[in-house]
Amino acid sequence: MTLAEKVYVLLRRDIVSGALPGGQPLRLEPLRQRYGAGFSPLREALNRLQAERLVVQAPLRGFSVAPISRAEMWDAIETRITIEVEALRRAIARGDDGWEARIVGAFHALSRQSARMGPRDQPGGEIHQALEARHRAFHRALIDACGSPRLLDYAERLHAETERYRLPVLAGDGAGAARDVPGEHRALMEAALARGANQAAALLAAHYRRTGAALEAQFADSPAPAKPETA
Amino acid sequence: MTLAEKVYVLLRRDIVSGALPGGQPLRLEPLRQRYGAGFSPLREALNRLQAERLVVQAPLRGFSVAPISRAEMWDAIETRITIEVEALRRAIARGDDGWEARIVGAFHALSRQSARMGPRDQPGGEIHQALEARHRAFHRALIDACGSPRLLDYAERLHAETERYRLPVLAGDGAGAARDVPGEHRALMEAALARGANQAAALLAAHYRRTGAALEAQFADSPAPAKPETA
DNA sequence: TAAACCGTGATTTTCGAAAATCTGATTGCG
DNA sequence: CGCAATCAGATTTTCGAAAATCACGGTTTA
């Protein structure tokens, strides 16, 4: 693995996790020290991330982390729904026994790790990171049999974009208020295994929209959503 | 505009037009002479193109133009249909008078340039390039009011990917055999203006699938689609 | 006073050399 | 004779310096 690729992975993780918050300028000298790489691999990684909408570049004024906003969050979520619903429909139409088995397996692993999470586990901790990995693996397993490398690619990118809004919020406490996420996952799995395309699609869309609604709180204060009146 | 960005635009054009054919290794020293740039801007451009699926990188073995194949072509086309149909539905739901006006205008400009094309115009010539630009502008105008920067982004990328299969074929003669492309465009425009979402979606999908079918001929010989039998 | 002009320092961008790695052919050995 | 090890040339990747550009504060001028 080349150094440029390592830096790409690290930078991506730091942006998605929120360690590098939206809008933050990415000056090259500090990045050089942080990631122990020269200008070339750094700039290569930044250019790749720019193509993924995680970084923006202002010519001759450098890079910065792509800003976040309510509108951007919803666009990422709704686009993700468009992509993943289509992929899910195709997977339901094409998936074989192996596809079903991997869904069941991924759901089981997710449930186990979910049970392992205590209320005192850090959002960045090892237990939680494993949970995130299995959550991602479950959603990926659902659409894995869709047969389209591009849909899977876009799904992966939109996953990263939406995680930028979810992961930092987990630090707060009242995140999953009155919501049965494992139940949603189970219903989704059962609809997929029963080949109920319409129902699975509706469940998947509702799942992501509910997450989005729960994440709206973080925008409650400054970047106003509605029309300005007095100020 | 930085040098890296210029190189990106040039490289992209050369790949989409087929001047750099699929699979061709992109050695850095020749690229350096061809585009008059050092390693850094070249590699930055290549990294961006890699994220757009126009270039592939083998670590420590350099870059090459993303290979083309029947399967890749259809994946690009079907993904494009998924994206643009969704964007078109949203545009039809949201578009205002300005959206309608831009569609009518783009269609008019496209028709004019289409009439201007004689049978002796080169595929790379100025007249034909203007036609391509207006064709692209028309399809873009249809979905411009969708309100989603990501859908428009993906549509743009998939447009580039599919053009890789269409542009080189235009050099041959029997391309648009027995096909009324302007008529398809007109029907599409009329369905969009009439806010017939389902019909417009069907017309758009058929439009792209028909193009794909016409482009299948180029794979007739060597990269076989079905199972190999004797050889 | 306000606006335009110009240094100065910081930052990005680009360059070409140096280091690291791969490819292919040759040699040596069992 | 076959196969592993080795070497030379080609290529990619990385580095840090040099060039280009920007931001900003001070100065001059109308």
Are B161 and B101 contained in the same domain?
yes
Are B44 and B10 contained in the same domain?
yes
Q: Note the pLDDT tens digit of each residue in B185-205.
A: 999 999 999 999 999 999 999
Answer whether B147's CB lies under 8 Å from B94's CB: yes
Are B86 and B9 contained in the same domain?
no
Are B91 and B186 contained in the same domain?
yes
Q: Note the pLDDT tens digit of each residue in B17-55.
A: 999 999 999 999 999 999 999 999 999 999 999 999 999
Question: What local confidence, expressed as pLDDT, does residue B222 receive?
Answer: 54
Residue A136 to residue A153: CA distance in whole angstroms: 14
Q: Note the pLDDT tens digit of each residue in A13-70.
A: 999 999 999 999 999 999 999 999 999 999 999 999 999 999 999 999 999 999 999 9
DSSP three-state, residue A153:
helix
Are A117 and A178 contained in the same domain?
yes
Q: Which residue has the tokens 């064709």?
A: B135
Are A23 and A113 contained in the same domain?
no
Question: What local confidence, expressed as pLDDT, does residue B176 receive?
Answer: 60
Are B106 and B22 contained in the same domain?
no
**CATH number of the domain that residue B16 is part of:** 1.10.10.10
Percent of chain B exceeding pLDDT 70 equals: 93
Question: What local confidence, expressed as pLDDT, does residue A222 receive?
Answer: 55
User: Within an 8 Å CB–CB cutoff, is residue A6 touching chain B?
Assistant: no
- Across the interface, whether the CB atoms of B79 and A151 are under 8 A apart is answered yes
The string over B37-68, giving b where at least 16 C-beta atoms fall within 10 Å of a residue's C-beta and e elsewhere, is beeebbbbbbbbbbbbbbbbbeeeeebbbbeb
Q: Note the pLDDT tens digit of each residue in A61-91.
A: 999 999 999 999 999 999 999 999 999 999 9
With 0-12 / 13-18 / 19 or more C-beta atoms within 10 angstroms meaning exposed / middle / buried, residue B107 is buried
- Across the interface, whether the CB atoms of B75 and A149 are under 8 A apart is answered yes
Checking if the pLDDT of B171 tops 80, the result is no
Residue in B8, B46, B61, B82 to test binding to A, most A beta-carbons within 10 Å: B82
pLDDT band at A207 (very low <50, low <70, confident <90, very high): very high
Are B135 and B54 contained in the same domain?
no
Q: Residue B40, CB, less than 7 Å from strand D?
A: yes
Are B106 and B204 contained in the same domain?
yes
Taking the CA of residue A125 and the nearest CA in chain B, the distance in Å comes to 30
Q: Note the pLDDT tens digit of each residue in A184-197.
A: 999 999 999 999 99
B79 closest CB neighbour out of A40, A76, A148 = A148
H-helix segments, chain A? 3-17, 28-35, 39-51, 70-94, 97-116, 126-143, 149-170, 181-193, 197-215
Question: What local confidence, expressed as pLDDT, does residue A117 receive?
Answer: 85
**Residues whose CB falls within 8 Å of the CB of residue B64, separated by 6 or more in sequence, listed in order:** B23, B24, B25, B26, B55, B56, B58
Are A79 and A41 contained in the same domain?
no
- Chain B CB contacts of A1 below 8 Å: 59
Are B50 and B79 contained in the same domain?
no
| B61 closest-nt by C1' vs CA | D12
Residue B51 to residue B73: CA distance in whole angstroms: 17
Query: Domain boundary at B65, B86, B113, which?
Result: B65
Residue B86 to residue A154: CA distance in whole angstroms: 15
Residue B227 domain flag: no
**CATH number of the domain that residue B129 is part of:** 1.20.120.530
B148 closest CB neighbour out of A50, A60, A79 = A79
Query: Domain boundary at B14, B32, B65, which?
Result: B65
| Domain interval for residue B188 | 70-219
A78 closest CB neighbour out of B5, B79, B148 = B148
How many folded domains does chain B comprise?
2
Q: Residue A3, CB, less than 7 Å from strand D?
A: yes
Are B46 and B89 contained in the same domain?
no
- Residue B56: strand pairing partners: B64
CA→C1' distance for B62 and C26 (Å): 26
Least confident of A110-114, A124-128, B87-91, B138-142: A124-128
Q: Note the pLDDT tens digit of each residue in B117-134.
A: 877 787 778 899 999 999
pLDDT band at A226 (very low <50, low <70, confident <90, very high): very low
Question: What local confidence, expressed as pLDDT, does residue B226 receive?
Answer: 46
Question: Please, which positions of strand C sit below 7 A from a protein CB?
Answer: 11-17, 21-23
Q: Which residue has the tokens 């420590």?
A: B60
Checking if the pLDDT of A225 tops 70, the result is no
Residue of A160 and A121 predicted with greater confidence: A160
Residue B214 domain flag: yes
Query: Domain boundary at B45, B65, B85, which?
Result: B65
- Across the interface, whether the CB atoms of A47 and B52 are under 8 A apart is answered no
Question: What local confidence, expressed as pLDDT, does residue B221 receive?
Answer: 66
